[in-house]
Amino acid sequence: MKILVTGGAGFIGSHACKALKEAGHQPVVLDNLRTGHLWAVKYGPFEHGDILDTERVANVIKNYEIDAVMHFAALAYVGESITRPGTYYRTNVVGTLSLLDAMRLTGVDRIIFSSTCATFGNINHPISEVDEQKPINPYGASKLMIERVLKDYATAYGIGSVALRYFNAAGSDPDGQLGEVHEPETHLMPLALFAAAGMRDKLSVFGTDYDTPDGTCIRDYIHVCDLADAHVSALNVLEPSKFQAYNLGNGSGFSIKQVIDRVEAVVGRSVPWEPAARRPGDPPSLVANAAAAYARLGWYPKYTSLDDMIEHAWNFLTERRSRLSSQ
């Protein structure tokens, strides 16, 4: 199959392209490169463009005879969404409407959507698909709005969709070809590795007084390659006129302090850190119940160890630094 991958130059999208290629599909990347990286496009053609440009998207779909879409293109900083909600609703929601219009114009009726656990909000038990979605920040709200749009488009226009709500993506391609590079970086694991590598003075821990065993936030970390594999598996369950949604996680949570401890153990270096004020929009705990994905997608995470995620991310970071310093 020929798959249009919006946001395919980004962290998760680029890993999905590799998984698609390995599964015998042809990824075609559409990315505006505002947050993505051209060096991460390795597995198929690249088209520079924005999902808000319906005509541009439609032309790419027609030119490559696209069979289905994987939609990763979005803004995804929780804190920024609180201070710039209009930008998030415009890019994420209006951008998706534009993409769907391009699909309707070209007769493409299958899409896999990169959703998020942020659609749920504050839930203190492992989150399943039957739990109520009550997002507490504009980022999560924008993704939930898109899920509602996909449901309505399935009913009105017959577009089949699968929304994959993943928890905290982590790690890097074990082969070292891809990895996590954000500007600015806000994710815990790379920031802890930066502190261990001396690339920043210390790690800020946002909130040490949450109602958790050690006072820091708890998250369910899932390897980015496992997320990529889930997207490929979702191609097999897409059905016309049907919306489906699945949570993707490992089903176990780690606190920020636990992650810091494991980073120190894996890389053999200390991680200097300091407490900081809570960030608005951060729930105390987010852990997945992914039983539905296991049953329906036939998908299971391969890299369930936090140590594996840290090791793969550390290897990518150190190799990338070595390459940059030699240039």
Q: What is the DSSP string of 44-56?
A: S-EEE--TT-HHH
DSSP 192-210: HHHHHTTSSS-EEEE-S-S
Q: In which residue are the tokens 């659609």 written? A: 119
**Helix pair 256-267, 306-326: axis angle to 10 deg:** 60
Instruction: Find out whether 193 and 317 touch, Cβ atoms under 8 Å.
Output: yes
Domain annotation covers residue 34: yes
Model confidence over 116-127: pLDDT tens digits?
A: 999 999 898 999
Are residue 271 and residue 231 in the same domain, yes or no?
Answer: no
Domain annotation covers residue 298: no
Catalytic residue among 43, 139, 153, 166: 139
Domain annotation covers residue 292: no
> Could you confirm whether 139 is annotated as catalytic?
yes
Are residue 208 and residue 143 in the same domain, yes or no?
Answer: no
3-class state of residue 2 by DSSP: strand
Domain annotation covers residue 61: yes
Domain annotation covers residue 160: yes
For the chain, which residues score pLDDT lower than 50?
324-327
**Cα–Cα dist 256/192, whole Å:** 10
Predicted pLDDT of residue 4: 98
For residue 182, what are its two tokens? 């954000």
| Single-letter code of the amino acid located at 91 | T
Range of the domain at 275: 188-219+251-287+303-326
Are residue 151 and residue 207 in the same domain, yes or no?
Answer: no
Domain annotation covers residue 293: no
Instruction: Find out whether 250 and 309 touch, Cβ atoms under 8 Å.
Output: no
Are residue 196 and residue 142 in the same domain, yes or no?
Answer: no
Domain annotation covers residue 181: no
Predicted pLDDT of residue 310: 97
Length of the chain: 327
Cβ neighbors of 310 (< 8 A, separation 6 or more) are 171, 189, 193, 262, 263, 266, 267
Eight-class DSSP state of 34: S
Are residue 159 and residue 40 in the same domain, yes or no?
Answer: yes
For residue 51, what are its two tokens? 């999902």
Are residue 39 and residue 141 in the same domain, yes or no?
Answer: yes
CATH number of the domain at 319, please: 3.90.25.10
| Phi (first) and psi of residue 111, to 5 degrees | -145, 140
CATH number of the domain at 107, please: 3.40.50.720
